[in-house]
Structure 1
């Protein structure tokens, strides 16, 4: 250690060490400030948002990494006791992996944010954007878990006691792995299903689905579960494995546009041609109709009614639902006002005996008709015998 005297007074070595540490920290912070100013000037001159996001996310980790580098460089100039030197090395073994892991996680999250910015899901045809967002979200969460796991392992390996018992732990790792795997089977199952979902893509962010009897949108995709926003603002939490093992409906698998159907049950005597003409004219004027297709057909016939199916297309699932409601309301109003006889009516067929009885004229229950023949000796008008 260098001796330092000021005005004949010898400065103690601990004060020199503290001063050197403080000087190293100040230099590191100054270098970081200069580096930040330079990068900010560069990012302002570019039209890309990616560099701005990456710059903001990595700002804080880089500051402390520069401080750690500066302290590492001045380490040989410090006169430390064996105890202090051991503490210094132990702290460096814990802090350096932590800072590197922090920076790596910040870069991963910045990349996810960049994908979100470049993938606009507010447009009508947002299939590719939702696909990129879903894959980026799932893979980034997996990457964060892996980086966190590696960081913790590196920190633990810097502790001599943990490193020394590592061989013993590795010898029993097989039995421990079996026990942990049996206990955490549901969690591991959903975790593996989450990784599989990132590549197979049965669902994506903002997909319209029907799962567990509920209709809603995919709001979040976690590693082990999916959050479905139900149409009435409820949230349905569904395990990831359910989307890989059980059937469900995905209304936006290939595109956002949908074909909506409306069914009406009318009397067999209804004028289908007149209904079709009104339907086609009404749908064309409907703002929710996107013009891709429309049709009105008789799809079934029974003894009591005919089934009429009306089809019309809309840009997405919410508009399709509203379009179906509008078609149903307007068709019912038209039939009620213009064709009330088209509503189903109940018909009954009478038997032959009942038909003959109903066809006879109504007679006086007391006096029989005059033209009715009377048998001799059998009740006449008075009901007496001959």
Structure 2
């Protein structure tokens, strides 16, 4: 079969034959890619397969280049080129194939991420295990993508004889170079090592609630160099990874999302504390925010003009705790205003 194809191609000028071989290979590869994606689309419609949908979404564009280039590299020896032009074309196809294959691998990592995320969701109530996994997954994904780019770049460069000779020469001075690079990249390496430590010891995780530098927010992203926090007012706070290794910070969801919140009231000495306790229990029982763990009212201090009353209430997570605190503060103050207005803070003076 191959001999018949070669004899047929010999009937045409070399230039036309070369263009026909290249064009046929690229067109054939494109048709294979279209057929493959069409088959995946049909399979997805019939089964609702997440894998098929993810492959089409992430790999569609990368396969548009990779499959034709792969087919071209197979049939390229059929092109009647002299050695030098053939070597140039072969080298160009080889480099393009390496780059497109690296692209396919990077997108494959995204497909695998989709499959993992399909089984684990952050929006469930007790998502501690999910946040642990996603934190490690995000860091491992960045490591994998970086390695793919590094290896692809090395393969492209090493395909040139000049670069190979330079690389051999550099290896002989690797000891000196490593010292220089070590000093130059000390901070970057520190961030990289901090990233490994955070990913696997996990003092913080994706979607953790933190208080850092007086700012309240959730961990939105962990990169090789920094942590991005989404603050309560939609601002973003970006901090280096080493910050979380070297400095203290508050993690409100380290082992659980449940929290206990405080409400302080300052009222006159004549306030009936027991009546307030009873009202607090009634309000908590009627509140959808309370998780029934903690609901306490205590006199925690005696000021010069007022009593300090501290209310402790608990809820399932930080936003719910904040809403519960605001609700209890508002309704307890309204209760005092309506039933014991004389117990609101007042200043006494003796005239005479």
Alignment TM-score, normalising by the size of structure 2: 0.89
Larger Rg: 1
Task: Supply the distance in 2 between the matched residues of 1:89 and 1:173 (Cα, whole angstroms).
Answer: 32
* TM-aligned CA deviation for residue 301 of structure 1: 4.3
Task: Supply the distance in 2 between the matched residues of 1:48 and 1:22 (Cα, whole angstroms).
Answer: 34
Q: Which moved more, 1:196-205 or 1:103-112?
A: 196-205
Are the aligned partners of 2:259 and 2:315 in contact in 1 as well (CA < 8 Å)?
A: yes
Partner in structure 1 of residue 310 of structure 2: 309
How many residue pairs align between the two structures? 347
Q: Confirm whether residue 280 of structure 1 aligns to residue 281 of structure 2.
A: yes
Unpaired runs of at least 5, structure 2 = none
Q: After superposition, what is the alpha-carbon deviation per residue over 1:86-128, rounded to whole angstroms, capped at 9, x for unaligned?
A: 2123213312221221111001112223333433223333333
Q: Which moved more, 1:239-248 or 1:292-301?
A: 292-301
* TM-aligned CA deviation for residue 160 of structure 1: 0.9
Task: Supply the distance in 2 between the matched residues of 1:83 and 1:196 (Cα, whole angstroms).
Answer: 52
* TM-aligned CA deviation for residue 131 of structure 1: 2.8
Partner in structure 1 of residue 187 of structure 2: 186
SS of 1:108's partner is: helix
* TM-aligned CA deviation for residue 170 of structure 1: 0.9
SS of 1:58's partner is: helix
Partner in structure 2 of residue 95 of structure 1: 96
* TM-aligned CA deviation for residue 249 of structure 1: 0.8
* TM-aligned CA deviation for residue 268 of structure 1: 4.4
* TM-aligned CA deviation for residue 16 of structure 1: 1.3
Partner in structure 2 of residue 378 of structure 1: none
Q: Which moved more, 1:141-150 or 1:114-123?
A: 114-123
Name the structure where helix makes up a greater proportion of residues: 2
Structure 1's 93 and 11: CA in aligned 2 closer, same or farther, altered over 3 A? closer
Task: Supply the distance in 1 between the matched residues of 2:288 and 2:118 (Cα, whole angstroms).
Answer: 30
Q: Confirm whether residue 13 of structure 1 aligns to residue 41 of structure 2.
A: no
Are the aligned partners of 2:221 and 2:227 in contact in 1 as well (CA < 8 Å)?
A: yes
Are the aligned partners of 2:58 and 2:111 in contact in 1 as well (CA < 8 Å)?
A: yes
Task: Supply the distance in 2 between the matched residues of 1:16 and 1:97 (Cα, whole angstroms).
Answer: 26
Partner in structure 2 of residue 198 of structure 1: 199
Partner in structure 1 of residue 65 of structure 2: 64
Are the aligned partners of 2:295 and 2:312 in contact in 1 as well (CA < 8 Å)?
A: yes
Q: Confirm whether residue 31 of structure 1 aligns to residue 23 of structure 2.
A: no
Task: Supply the distance in 2 between the matched residues of 1:320 and 1:89 (Cα, whole angstroms).
Answer: 65
* TM-aligned CA deviation for residue 277 of structure 1: 0.7
| Pairs within 5 Å for 1:271-350 | 271-301=272-302, 305-343=306-344
Unpaired runs of at least 5, structure 1 = 350-357, 359-386
Task: Supply the distance in 2 between the matched residues of 1:5 and 1:134 (Cα, whole angstroms).
Answer: 57
* TM-aligned CA deviation for residue 330 of structure 1: 1.8
Partner in structure 1 of residue 158 of structure 2: 157
Are the aligned partners of 1:54 and 1:111 in contact in 2 as well (CA < 8 Å)?
A: no
Partner in structure 1 of residue 130 of structure 2: 129
Task: Supply the distance in 1 between the matched residues of 2:277 and 2:224 (Cα, whole angstroms).
Answer: 50
SS of 2:124's partner is: coil
Are the aligned partners of 1:266 and 1:344 in contact in 2 as well (CA < 8 Å)?
A: yes
Are the aligned partners of 1:227 and 1:237 in contact in 2 as well (CA < 8 Å)?
A: yes
Cα RMSD after superposing both structures:
2.6
